[in-house]
């Protein structure tokens, strides 16, 4: 069986440097071909997101700024993503983003990889 994230180009929105580095390595260890970290929404060129990435891991807050509007655009564009956050109201996420997984911090690498793979149609939910 190929790695769950084989060949995927993944955008990681995470403002905590060490967590971002761990997530990057985790994705690469599971076959991702490219992993780009954005520590702030201003670092993202939204015009290129769909063409450059296959999936995203989204922290709910980046430096005190909510990512919910950006996540709504990801959903409009049809880009698979999961939320990975310690700041969360699971009911709010379920209500606003039905079907989008919330992996709460602290999370295991396995949980995060399996959630992202499932979002990409590569693993059971």
**Per-residue pLDDT tens for 60-86?**
999 889 999 999 999 999 999 999 998
Over 60: is that where the pLDDT of 125 sits? no
Domain ranges of the chain: 9-119
In order of 6, 20, 80, the CA distances from 39 in angstroms are 24, 8, 19
Q: Indicate the pairing of strand 61-62 with strand 65-66.
A: antiparallel
pLDDT of residue 46: 85
DSSP string, 7-26: T-EEEEE---HHHHHHHHHH
The label of the residue with tokens 């905590």 reads 16
- Read off the pTM: 0.94
Strand blocks (E) in 14-80: 34-38, 55-58, 61-62, 65-66
Does the domain at 9-119 match CATH 3.40.50.2300? Answer given as yes
């Amino acid at each position: 069986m190929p790695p769950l994230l084989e060949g995927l180009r993944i955008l990681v929105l995470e403002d905590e440097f060490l967590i971002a580095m761990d997530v990057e390595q985790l994705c690469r260890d599971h076959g991702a071909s490219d992993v780009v970290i954005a520590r702030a929404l201003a670092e993202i060129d939204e015009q290129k997101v769909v063409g450059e990435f296959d999936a995203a891991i989204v922290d709910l807050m980046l430096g005190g700024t909510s990512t919910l509007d950006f996540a709504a655009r990801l959903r409009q564009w049809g880009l698979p993503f999961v939320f990975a956050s310690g700041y969360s109201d699971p009911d709010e996420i379920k209500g606003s983003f039905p079907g989008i997984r919330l992996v709460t911090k602290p999370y295991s690498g396995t949980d995060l990889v399996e959630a992202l793979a499932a979002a990409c149609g590569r693993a059971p939910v």
